[in-house]
Amino acid sequence: MTEAPPPNRYEAIAVSGESTVVAEYQQEAAGPNDAGYQSEAELEAALVRQLRGQAYEHLAIASEADLIANLRRQLERLNGIAFSPAEWERFFSTCIAAANDGIVEKTARIQEDHVQVLRRDDGTFRNVHLIDKDSIHNNALQVVNQYEVTGLRANRYDVTILVNGLPMVHVELKRRGVDIREAFNQIDRYQRDSFWAGSGLFEYVQLFVISNGTLTKYYSNTVRDGHLAEQRGKRVRGRTSNSYAFTSWWADAKNRPITDLVGFTKTFFARHTLLAVLTRYCVFDVDRKLLVMRPYQIVAAESILLRILTATNARQLGTVAAGGYVWHTTGSGKTLTSFKAAQLARDLPDVDKVLFVVDRKDLDYQTMREYERFERGAANSNASTSVLQRQLSDPDARIIITTIQKLSRFVATNRRHPIYDAHVVVIFDECHRSQFGDMHAEITRSFRRYHLFGFTGTPIFAENSGNGGNPARRTTEQAFGERLHTYTIVDAISDRNVLPFRIDYINTIRTGTAIKDKQVSAIDTERALLSPERIGQVVGYVREHFDQKTRRASGYRHDGRRLAGFNSILATASIDAAKRYYAEFARQQEGVPPAQRLKIGLIYSFAANEADDDLLGDEAFETDGLDQSSRDFLDDAIRDYNALFSTSFDTSADRFQNYYKDLSHRLKRRELDIVIVVNMFLTGFDATTLNTLWVDKNLRSHGLIQAFSRTNRILNSVKTYGNIVSFRDLEEETNDALALFGNKDAKGIVLLKPYAEYHDEYARRVEDLRNGFPLGSPIIGETAQKAFVKLFGAILRLRNILTAFDAFAGAEILTDREFQDHLSVYLNLYAEFRTTSEAEREAINDDVVFEIELVKQVEINVDYILMLVERYLAARGTGEDKEIRATIERAIDSSPSLRNKKDLIERFVDSVSSSGKVNAQWSAFVAARKVEELDRIIVEERLDPAATQAFVADAFRDGAIPTAGVAITRIMPPVSRFAKGGGHAARKDSVIGRLSAFFDRYFGLS
């Protein structure tokens, strides 16, 4: 067999300074030919012309056979081989288009297994690259457009980029003036209808690009796949896709988005950039999700890599000039950026070790879990200094995660060690004040050939540096070197990578017996602030407003469970304050039924400089330094926690560590309502379910931004901002911090608009609704229906924001009845559109977006129904009762979550007595019906009664029916797997179906 001649390969003899992200992009002025109307076809033609001008080969491919033939030619060229017909058939059917492979398997092949093994006809084996990741310019880029494929139905794709013949980037276009989300929805249909068709080569697409010419965004294939899985009602592991919210802008190194398709193509589709993104800046994590890095993350990683190379060549190792710091705001994906920087540094031939250093004991555990998610086995964590010592001596341990405390102890006990002369890259997570002290000096004095890099969301500048410590290391730049890249909180909020904040300043000066919701000066002394009367008022305010601030009327699914609303942290000024608040919550909740009590957690530890904690200095994990009273109180609070969650923690060293981890885990799963803290959890802690920070402590500068940023992680459309309720006047400190860590105009970007602006827009929309779609008049025609859906969806989104403002109570404009009736129409249209045939629905889904998640959170709940029942009882026999009964029926019909409970509610209304409290009667009624229905399921499915009751009780406690594992099997009778009618599997599906329906019917009712 004759080998094809080897291709012209280009091996790198030096690393160039070519950046993946352009340093600064200047948009070209529009020419005379850019003034006219541009059709979608003209937009597509212009894109193809531009790609051809950027050295992409344009192919006219009309069939899958042509596509496969081109793929064969490209792989032969790349690898310098010629396939025989039998070899190609064998290779294609097993290594490229295996019958059972889907998006995940094909993504893994590109990201992890891009070198496949070919078995030759003569019995030998040969490595075949699908993509060359070492010399990226050896890869061929081609463009095809208007490629037709038929799956469930015929589709024609706009523009696809082939890398070595495999479709790896797909571009979907809409003409200018059309919502870019239509292109996003179009890809939804392609993935559902035809990407899998034939040999499924379009499932190799790694990145999608959507554009209407004016706006252009990109995202990974698993954002799309995750969106589809959510639509199918499946649990999505890891971070939820939240569909369109997780698309990204491309930008230049100064974080200015490049939105126009021409500019995007010139930069993102530059050969070097696209191939670098595909081969270096995608991370396929252990949850089988493809994470594509954002431009600012790529710039930071490359800046670190370039600094390592230039400092090494300039013989600057062991100096501040060899390193630098990255300022990326909290919540912007710092761990992924640091991981990629560590991974790239690890792969440099001259680097011996990469040390990733954290400054709190909890974070080495959290960071290790994150690193393990990105690449299993990439990093080594350590539980002790002796383990760290072994890892530093092990040449195979290339990335090591440790704490600054362990590293400092190692240096103190190992005055001589070979690692001190090794070429080491040290990356500090959150390089704030603690790393400017003696430990920092010891480490930099011992290591000789190092680069020191720091990541921080809140750098220390001259303005917020204070006066303590070594004057040569007061600021982040003095300690770590020059700033390598900046991505501020303003950038992140503008890009919608984090949420804005909404801040309420609550006056805690006594006026009568009420707390007035106005901004005034705080009480001057801590003694007055800790008075029992004030503490009682603040706790009363928190309890009264808790449901409103944490959105407990809003339902959503998270981590496989159904949740209602979010949770919160109460930040206190001292251990004494934390103790007083915990005791006051316990006192005020004494008479409250256990099921209705807020679940309160408490944690603190010894802090040497507690008096100066408005900058959030490090709070250690040692409890030995606590005075006996504070330690005893904490032990009592932990006993309360143990009783609540059946755990066995206390303040002894190891158990306190585990208490912290368990508390952190339950806070992230929203199993706690409020955690009372002093400094803990206010820095470095991420929980997407956390939306509210109650603040009764002085905060400023980086401490304020760090604390506020606990609340603004993106989760879903219900969570629209981070909610700050401050019982101290922090407005000036907030403005100063935003000016320092954003820019001088930061306040107008970071904070929500004033209430009046939202309400004025809401009023205009309601007027349009009343004039354009009066109740009782049918909405005729698809155009009118779409207009109604768009208008009412906007009203839902505005109500979602306005309900958090106290001033909105009584200013809703729409009456409850009007809102219910319009909502009924909205839901009816939603049901009609969903049940329309697929062919017809295709034309609708592109430009009609239903805000069903928002409907669920503003929907009528059981409490509202019970209030109507009370009115119904009072009005019996007056004639008004019939009207109220009709209102109850309309309310149930307009609520998605109450429809499967309609018969329950109607039976209750028929049976309720005016002689007792409605709430108590409802609880007794639900409890009886619940037992009755579960007993019926047990009998009909022949389940084990005791085991089933325990199984269901656990489900209601955990918020979901477990469908995996042996728990469901234990409650079922023995069934042969080969029995008639499907046997064990069929019975299991039947039981899960009935118990799930039972769970949905009763969850949250009592």
pLDDT tens-place string over residues 228-238: 444 444 433 33
Q: Are residues 190 and 73 both part of a single domain?
A: yes
Q: Are residues 468 and 507 both part of a single domain?
A: no
pLDDT > 60? residue 17: no
Looking up residue 155, the CATH number of its domain turns out to be 3.90.1570.50
Number of domains in the chain: 5
Q: If DSSP codes are grouped into helix, strand and coil, which group holds residue 376?
A: coil
Mean model confidence pLDDT for the chain? 83
Mean pLDDT, residues 203-224 taken together: 89
pLDDT > 80? residue 14: no
E strands, 629-721, in order: 674-677, 690-696
Q: Are residues 267 and 334 both part of a single domain?
A: no
pLDDT > 90? residue 585: yes
pLDDT > 90? residue 129: yes
Q: Are residues 313 and 453 both part of a single domain?
A: yes
Q: Are residues 931 and 805 both part of a single domain?
A: no
Mean pLDDT, residues 468-473 taken together: 59
The pLDDT assigned to 296 comes to 95
Angle at 234 between CA 228 and CA 235, to 5 degrees: 110
E strands, 506-656, in order: 555-558, 561-564, 567-572, 600-602
pLDDT > 50? residue 609: no
Looking up residue 475, the CATH number of its domain turns out to be 3.40.50.300
pLDDT > 70? residue 822: yes
Give the highest mean pLDDT range of 366-380, 506-520, 767-781, 868-882.
767-781
Residue 327 domain flag: yes
Mean pLDDT, residues 341-360 taken together: 87
Q: Are residues 139 and 256 both part of a single domain?
A: yes
Q: Are residues 390 and 287 both part of a single domain?
A: no
Residue 25 domain flag: no
pLDDT > 70? residue 371: no
Residue 23 domain flag: no
Confidence of residue 826 (pLDDT cuts 50, 70, 90): confident
- Percent of the chain exceeding pLDDT 90 equals 39
Query: What phi and psi values does residue 879 have, to the nearest 5 degrees?
Result: 95, -30
The pLDDT assigned to 389 comes to 86
Residue 832 domain flag: yes
Residue 12 domain flag: no
**Residue 682: which residues within 8 A CB-CB, separation 6 or more?**
569, 571, 616, 703, 706, 707, 710
Q: Are residues 274 and 331 both part of a single domain?
A: no
CA distance 468 to 770: 63
Q: Are residues 447 and 588 both part of a single domain?
A: no
Give the pLDDT confidence of 491-523 residue by residue, as tens digits. Answer: 888 888 888 899 988 887 554 444 443 333 333
Q: If DSSP codes are grouped into helix, strand and coil, which group holds residue 948?
A: helix
The pLDDT assigned to 107 comes to 92
Mean pLDDT, residues 747-755 taken together: 62
Confidence of residue 12 (pLDDT cuts 50, 70, 90): very low
The pLDDT assigned to 617 comes to 58
- The answer to whether the CB of 1002 falls within 8 A of the CB of 923 is no
CA distance 684 to 714: 16
Residue 379 domain flag: yes
Give the pLDDT confidence of 36-81 residue by residue, as tens digits. Answer: 788 999 999 999 999 999 999 999 988 999 999 999 999 999 999 9
Mean pLDDT, residues 972-981 taken together: 64
CA 698 to chain centre: 29
The pLDDT assigned to 232 comes to 44
The pLDDT assigned to 697 comes to 92
Q: If DSSP codes are grouped into helix, strand and coil, which group holds residue 167?
A: strand
Confidence of residue 711 (pLDDT cuts 50, 70, 90): very high
Alpha helix (H) ranges present in 255-351? 261-267, 271-279, 295-313, 334-346
Residue 721 domain flag: yes
Of 317, 366, 375, residue with least CA distance to 343: 375
Q: For residue 975, what are the domain limits?
A: 920-1002
CA distance 563 to 572: 27
The pLDDT assigned to 774 comes to 93
Cross-sheet strand order for the sheet of 324-328? 380-381, 399-403, 353-358, 424-428, 450-456, 324-328, 483-487
Among 273, 292, 311, the domain-final residue is 292
Mean pLDDT, residues 804-810 taken together: 79
Q: Are residues 599 and 457 both part of a single domain?
A: no
Q: Are residues 112 and 249 both part of a single domain?
A: yes
- The separation between the first and the last C-alpha atoms of the chain, rounded to the nearest angstrom, is 77
pLDDT > 90? residue 845: no
Residue 685 domain flag: yes
Q: Are residues 140 and 277 both part of a single domain?
A: yes
